[in-house]
Amino acid sequence: MCGIAGLATAGETPPRERVAAMCDVIRHRGPDGEGIHVGPGVGIGMRRLAIIDLVTGDQPVSNTAGTIHAVFNGEIYNYRELRRDLQARGHVFRSQGDSEVIPHLVEEYGLDALERLNGMFAIAVWDARQRSLLLARDRAGIKPLYYSLRGSTLYFGSEVKCILAAGGSAREIDPAGVDQLLTFEYTATPTTLLRDVHKLPAGGWLRWHEGRVEQGTYWRPRRAQPWHDEPEHETAERVRRTLTTAVERQLVSDVPLGAFLSGGIDSSILVAAMAEVSPRPPQTFSVGFSDSSYDELAHARLVAKHCGTEHHEEVLTPDYLAMVPEVMGQLDQPIADFSVFPTLLVSRMARRNVTVALSGDGGDELFGGYDAYVADQWSQRTIDRLPAAGRALAQAVAERIPFGTGKRGLGNQVRRFVEGACLPAEWQHMRWMVFATQAQREALYTPEFRASLPGDSGDVIRACLDNGTADRLGNQSWCDFRFYMRENILPKVDLMSMAVSLEARVPYLDNDVVDLAMSLPAHLRIRGGVRKYILKKAFAGRLPQATLKRGKEGFSVPIKNWLNAQWNGLMHDLLDPARLRRAGFFQPAAVTRLVAEHEARTHNHSHLLWAIMVFELWRDRHLQGSG
């Protein structure tokens, strides 16, 4: 695990100092060492967080002839099998870890090497003979990789700040990125907030050769096949066995390892699987909050006791306002998801005891866990059938229900349900993931900024929902996997865990688990309103019944309340009309109206207001240098 960075140029050998500067800004990702290779036309480097092969696992690594050099961020879980295959083909290895497999695999199989990898990774491979640089990301997009092409020079890095450190961006804002940030709280691949910096797609590759770039995809999910019925208990057993094997595969480590435990279904199942295959009691980590509606410690404690873990927990009362500069320093590509704060805190807590933590991300997308799946089914039976006037009436009624101050509540849930149901039907499930409607954004933007937008953010949703099948839930699940998980959940966990030099692993995104889950029909994911039906059945008897019956809670903090209290001053500073007028993106009067409605508690605009605040903080930190 580490961070990688570098550049390829059609000119001379890049200065070693430039590559070192790119690596230095991601020192937090790898505090245990640095490695750099420079040569004619290339400079690649990495910062290392030592996990496997502590003695001989340094990078960059090369093939035997020294003609192919590689750096990578992540873990290859099937490296032992790949290594045995390569040795049988005559390859000789100098180390015992997973990184050295990569240059040998590329030498032997070329681009086909990528399909053979089971793991989480961002890879850069330089072929000195062909003067070409290959970049690639894992299938699910667990590990990030950004790139920029300026003239004939290609820059890349695990974080955008690597590219900025090398002068690889003109630092011009991409209007499409801003529009997506306000709509979804994140940007959609390949877009970032910078015109000339792009995300490499998950499951994709890019090859640079003498200033020219070509791109492709090495993995796409298999289209849904007709389900061949088998006894339900056999399917459940296959799910249990496949996930447990994935957990066992990801326990490989030469440093202390544990797991995040929220007490929800996904993390609880991972811990149950760990307890089954681990040679010692797993270490588990949970955080709680003073606001009882946001606290899940009792649920986590129940699972920890049932599974016999070495449990660690803390009730957090941090100064969240003081955390804002630290969080924004990591979010060089903004994510306006509130849960970045508790994610950083639980990562910091875990890092005091372990270097690796397993995370339950991916379970909701693959096995049907989100409230929105059930909400969509209800919407089809109710609001979707109403004429436009009926929908408008439903929305007017919903807006009269008072908001609660807790995490959930009738007013919060009904308003969100009706708002989502009244958005365009062709967006299907993504209606529930929109935080600024087209009408809201049109009112917010200045005429000049609105004219600069290349299109509607809804276009990326429509593309995601096309999975070539009539299975509505399957399309929605694939959309969440491809969009929400890849663009929000995984980058958030990566950035916040790596901020404290903690490796987060995600067994639900193991190749075998993903392939199996995506083959399941809708009736095995959700049945009778029960989400994750087959996953719960697979682990029935291995967890308390109270855990298996729990609903989805989510991992968040009460920013909606903070904006009216301890964060109110920050909100007014960042959304000051004079400041907004100078920047030229947003209509000051429209933003002021949102602030007033939120402070009056007639509306909950916390998501939209925080997204604008995040954008302003990002501009200060990463474009204007104020920190």
pLDDT digits over 136-164, tens only?
999 999 999 999 999 999 999 999 999 99
Question: Mean pLDDT, to the nearest integer, of 607-624?
Answer: 93
Whether residue 470 has pLDDT greater than 70: no
Which residue, 123, 127, 124, 125, is CA-closest to 138? 123
Higher pLDDT, 142 or 476: 142
Question: Mean pLDDT, to the nearest integer, of 470-478?
Answer: 78
Task: Measure the CA dihedral 90/94/100/106, to 10°.
Answer: -30
Instruction: Determine the pLDDT at residue 214.
Output: 97
Beta strands 257-260; 356-358: pairing state: parallel
If asked whether residues 163 and 124 sit together in one domain, one would say: yes
If asked whether residues 250 and 201 sit together in one domain, one would say: no
Instruction: Determine the pLDDT at residue 393.
Output: 73
Whether residue 404 has pLDDT greater than 70: no
Say if 510 falls within a structural domain.
yes
Say if 594 falls within a structural domain.
yes
Is 2 known to be catalytic?
Answer: yes
Whether residue 615 has pLDDT greater than 90: yes
Number of domains in the chain: 3
Question: Mean pLDDT, to the nearest integer, of 122-138?
Answer: 97
- Identify the H or E element spanning 72: strand 68-76
Mind giving me the DSSP string for 550-617?
---------HHHHTTTTTHHHHHHHT-HHHHHHHTSB-HHHHHHHHHHHHTTSS--HHHHHHHHHHHH
Instruction: Determine the pLDDT at residue 133.
Output: 98
Taking the model in full, what pTM does it have? 0.92
If asked whether residues 198 and 326 sit together in one domain, one would say: no
Say if 604 falls within a structural domain.
yes
Whether residue 469 has pLDDT greater than 70: no
Task: Measure the CA dihedral 253/309/260/99, to 10°.
Answer: 10
If asked whether residues 165 and 243 sit together in one domain, one would say: no
Q: What does the alpha-carbon distance between residue 537 and residue 239 come to, in Å, rounded to a whole number?
A: 9
Q: At 252, phi and psi to the nearest 5?
A: -65, 120
If asked whether residues 518 and 580 sit together in one domain, one would say: no
CATH code of residue 245 = 3.40.50.620
Whether residue 90 has pLDDT greater than 90: yes
Q: Which residue has the tokens 């990566």?
A: 494
Q: Which residue has the tokens 């930190």?
A: 621
Q: Are 430 and 463 in contact (CB under 8 A)?
A: no
Coil, strand or helix: which one is 124? strand
Say if 86 falls within a structural domain.
yes
Q: Are 568 and 422 in contact (CB under 8 A)?
A: no
Is residue 626 very low, low, confident or very high in pLDDT (cuts 50, 70, 90)? very low
Instruction: Determine the pLDDT at residue 267.
Output: 96
Which residue, 45, 357, 10, is CA-closest to 211? 10
If asked whether residues 17 and 114 sit together in one domain, one would say: yes
Q: Are 209 and 150 in contact (CB under 8 A)?
A: no
User: pLDDT per residue over 289-301, tens digit each?
Assistant: 776 666 678 999 9
User: pLDDT per residue over 416-453, tens digit each?
Assistant: 666 666 766 666 566 667 788 888 898 999 999 999 99
Question: What is the residue range of 81's domain?
Answer: 2-172+194-217
Higher pLDDT, 466 or 4: 4
If asked whether residues 621 and 485 sit together in one domain, one would say: no
Peptide bond into 144 cis (omega under 30): no
- DSSP 8-state symbol, 38: E
If asked whether residues 487 and 608 sit together in one domain, one would say: no
The Cβ of residue 384 has, within 10 Å, a number of other Cβ atoms equal to: 13
Instruction: Determine the pLDDT at residue 627.
Output: 35
Mean residue pLDDT across the chain: 89
Q: Which residue has the tokens 């005891």?
A: 353
Instruction: Determine the pLDDT at residue 359.
Output: 97
Say if 380 falls within a structural domain.
no
Q: At 602, phi and psi to the nearest 5?
A: -85, -20
Which residue, 64, 33, 47, 324, is CA-closest to 165? 47
Question: Mean pLDDT, to the nearest integer, of 79-92?
Answer: 96
| Angle of CA points 466, 469, 474, to nearest 5° | 80
Q: Are 288 and 315 in contact (CB under 8 A)?
A: yes
Whether residue 374 has pLDDT greater than 90: no
Question: Mean pLDDT, to the nearest integer, of 457-465?
Answer: 71
Question: Mean pLDDT, to the nearest integer, of 256-283?
Answer: 95
Q: Which of 2, 162, 307, 464 is catalytic?
A: 2
What separation in angstroms does the CA of 359 have from each of 63, 231, 277, 570?
A: 33, 30, 16, 32
Whether residue 223 has pLDDT greater than 70: no
What separation in angstroms does the CA of 226 have from each of 78, 106, 237, 471, 521?
A: 30, 35, 20, 11, 9
% residues pLDDT > 70 (the chain)? 86
